[in-house]
Chains A and B, each alone.
Chain A
Amino acid sequence: MIPFVVFSIRRAWQGFWRNGLMSIAATATMTFMLLLLGGFWIVQSGLSAGLQYVEQKVQVVAYLKDDATQDQVDAAMAGLKQMPEVKQADYVSKNDALTRFRANLAERGQPDLTGSLDTNPLPASIEVYLVDPTDFAAVVAHLDGSPGVDRVDDVQQLVDRVTTVTTVIRTGGIVALILVGLTVLFIIVNTIRLAVTSRAEEIEIMRLVGASDAFIRWPFIFEGALVGLLGALVTLLILAAAAGPLSTLMLGFFRVLPLEFGSLVRDVAILVLVTGVGLGVVGSYVSVRSYLIR
């Protein structure tokens, strides 16, 4: 068993180098396809995180009566903290609201006329961020029923609009990823098939001199795995080299996204390695099989 594996791997290695041009072409195709797949996966992850970010911006806002007591506010807040739907709940006092309003005006370069007011017209509020933006009903009901709450913003329409858009984009992204995945699968398997076909004579000679199916098949399978592994490693090197400049370019953007960089890197590495080696192996197996069955 062990000598057979060693023999097959050595044969695979020889086969790879002896058919250098074909091997390089196959590895290059493999690399392009894995880059496409890996790149698309990264874009898709970014997109997905972006959509999540947008969805998290949906908030339920409850405006408080001016005469609401601190106890009432505390009770409402305590209730919210108990609810699983709630990601975060903030109390915005009348003063906070005014400060924010002024900052907002200043940012847009509009004259601040609030200085001439002798009272603060803005209400205090409770802002609630949801885990899932469509899961707002209980939160709204809770706030509606809390004493001291004047009115709760109707979020239904906003949620509908946001989720419609994000669902469309998300579905589109997944469909595109599947299409890219199928294209990559097809092209890689076809490339391997071409490489095996160019060695049809070698396979025929092996059969004629009495090689068993296993002795013909395994070197090709290992060779396919080698092409996949090399393609994957080159792809990861290219992605790693691109990651530095890319992340400085997009750091500001990425920082706000709920995207964990470490796990994305891990996912892409696994995706590229498994796809490369897996398709190399499967492609070789399928291609050699058609020459063995006679």
Chain B
Amino acid sequence: MTLLAGPGIERPAPAATFGAARPVILLRDVTKTYPGGRSALRDVDLTIREGEFVFIVGPSGAGKSTLLKLLIRDEVATEGQVFIDGTDLARLKRREIPKVRRRTGTIFQDFKLLPNRTVWENVAFALEVTGAPRKRIVPDVDRVLALVGLTAQAAQVPTQLSGGEQQRTAIARALVHDPRLIIADEPTGNLDPLISWEIIQLLLRINELGVTVLMATHDAEVVTALRRRVVALEEGRVVRDELGAAYHRED
């Protein structure tokens, strides 16, 4: 991959750049309580503007995954409001949900690839289920596979790939809809450090193309090295929201 620059090379964008941009994600006083459980998120206010690269950090169980699930309406907020591109997700009609999901690319720790389909088919799948015509699918899939550097592996199935290649397949799938927003839930959680950097570099490049990226992670080294905006969660509350920050508080 040509993307392999070392850690720390990317400069943080100044806060002012995003001050005027429109909010892609807006959470207002959001609380999420699972049935029979305690609150996974409490009174969360969060604004993420177009073009930002934001880390969501915090210990296991802090509510990171819950936050991301609210954004793709996999879960619904118990209280408060969640807006994506100005759309109140709680007010969506059932049949509108898929359309909103297509505007967001999602990436997971466990890749979530279909094991008995090739790389090409896994990516094409995301377009096919939207009813896209074949003649549009082929060039789009080829284009994103080239972008993530998997053109040569297009005909392989996930079990023949390394972890990094599997995650790049998932990223290609997330990108194929041309989303304005990418949501990644611990995308490097299953990968060793070098491969993790490869994935991070890829996400940074996608961010440079203008796509907003929201990434939940445990990886202190990556977060601290990149000096981006960091939103820290603890027991469901936002305890820190800092630009150009490290993984841990540095007062």
Contacts and interface: CB of A to CB of B under 8 A. Distances in A.
Contact of A209 (B74, B100, B129, B133): B129
Nearest to A20: B116
A209 B95 contact: no
B99 A7 contact: no
Interface residues of B, number: 24
Contacts of B112: 201, 204-205, 208
B72 A215 contact: no
A208 B102 CA distance: 8
B131 interface: yes
A212 B126 CA distance: 11
Contacts of A202: 114
Contacts of A208: 72, 74, 101, 106, 112
Contacts of B72: 208
Contacts of B102: 209-210
Interface string B173-184: 100010000000
A210 B101 contact: yes
Given A4-B131, A205-B114, A208-B101, 16 more contacts: A7-B128, A201-B112, A201-B114, A205-B113, A206-B125, A206-B129, A207-B74, A207-B98, A208-B72, A208-B106, A209-B106, A209-B125, A211-B129, A215-B129, A215-B130, A215-B131
25 contacts: A3-B133, A18-B117, A202-B114, A205-B113, A207-B74, A207-B98, A208-B72, A209-B126, A209-B129, A209-B177, A210-B98, A210-B99, A210-B101, A210-B126, A210-B129, A210-B130, A211-B98, A211-B129, A211-B130, A212-B98, A213-B94, A213-B95, A215-B129, A215-B131, A216-B129
Interface of A: 3-4, 7, 18-19, 201-202, 204-213, 215-216, 294
